[in-house]
Amino acid sequence: MLSFTTGEFQVYNIEEWQGEFARPEDLFADFDSDAFAKIVDKIPNAFYRADSNRIYAFLQSWVIKAGDLTILYDTGAGNLKQRPGIPVFGQLSTPFLANLAADGFTPEDIDIVICSHLHIDHVGWNTELRGENWVPTFPNARYLFSRIDTAYWDPTNSSASRPSAVGAEVNANVFEDSVQPVLDAGQAELVDNGHVVAPGITLTLHPGHTPGHLVLQLENGGEQALFVGDILHHPAQIFQPSWNSVYCEDQAAAQASRREILAQAAATGARVVPAHFAGAHFVWVEQHDETFQPRYETQN
């Protein structure tokens, strides 16, 4: 289903999974219960279930139709993958490809796959299991990977800085089954800050959650959308930009990137499209002095 447009670009939401994920105090580093109590009434039920004290989250991807190009941004967790670091995302059997087809797209239709970063829940459908081998799911696609993240997460790259203990745990097996097969197939292109995918479509580096985290900026017809990956996991982080997730590799850089994106969105009126938001799956941001607030499409 068409989710929204940005100028002439058409954007489709492709759901993989949804459900209660974690307690706020378990997801957010430096969580403050008193601060959360002051904002919880401003967070719709779609994002937080007070009765169970659980954040409600989605795994989802986005298809962007830009003229003759069909772009897929982020690829979820994938099916049948061994995920000891986050078992809830292991051995999934989701209708992701059927959901893609319901919006009118086949794997062969995808021209470009962009991974915001190389975490477990953003690269999974890069590959699928055929026989005993993981092979690229999108046979005609050029996969754009952050050059920095590729070096960082490659377990064979002894010259790169290494992931944190938490990062190594949650990302166990991920590079091997969801990144390396794409590299081996010759379908990957390693990109850097400012990479222009097509006119009006640019990738910018916003490090912290991972060192090579990429934001996709759409700009067309005087409208903007920012696909921000895991710079934001939840609306609580708009009220409290200092709250990183416990999965952020560099806490100070993650905070700086979040504030930068929030300020940019507020100043330009850009639609903000995070990876895991429920509800309408996107928000707008308003700035009041040094504070930010989300503005939702719908509230329930």
Q: What is the domain partition of the chain in residue ranges?
A: 2-296
Strand partners, 5: 10
Backbone dihedral angles phi then psi of residue 141, each to the nearest 5 degrees? -90, 150
From first to last of the 300 residues of the chain, give the pLDDT tens digit. Answer: 799 999 999 999 999 999 999 999 999 999 999 999 999 999 999 999 999 999 999 999 999 999 999 999 999 999 999 999 999 999 999 999 999 999 999 999 999 999 999 999 999 999 999 999 999 999 999 999 999 999 999 999 988 889 999 999 999 999 999 999 999 999 999 999 999 999 999 999 999 999 999 999 999 999 999 999 999 999 999 999 999 999 999 999 999 999 999 999 999 999 999 999 999 999 999 999 989 999 998 543
Cα–Cα distance for residue pair 113/126, rounded to 1 Å: 8
- State pTM to two decimals: 0.97
The class (CATH top level) of 2-296 is alpha beta
Q: Give the C-alpha separation, 30 to 234, whole Å.
A: 15
Kindly list the distances between the CA atom of residue 154 and the CA atoms of 17, 161, 281, in Å, as whole numbers in the listed order: 27, 10, 31
Q: What's at 251, amino acid-wise?
A: Q
- Match 């986050």 to its residue by tokens: 86
- Is residue 252 exposed (0-12), middle (13-18) or buried (19+ Cβ within 10 Å)? exposed
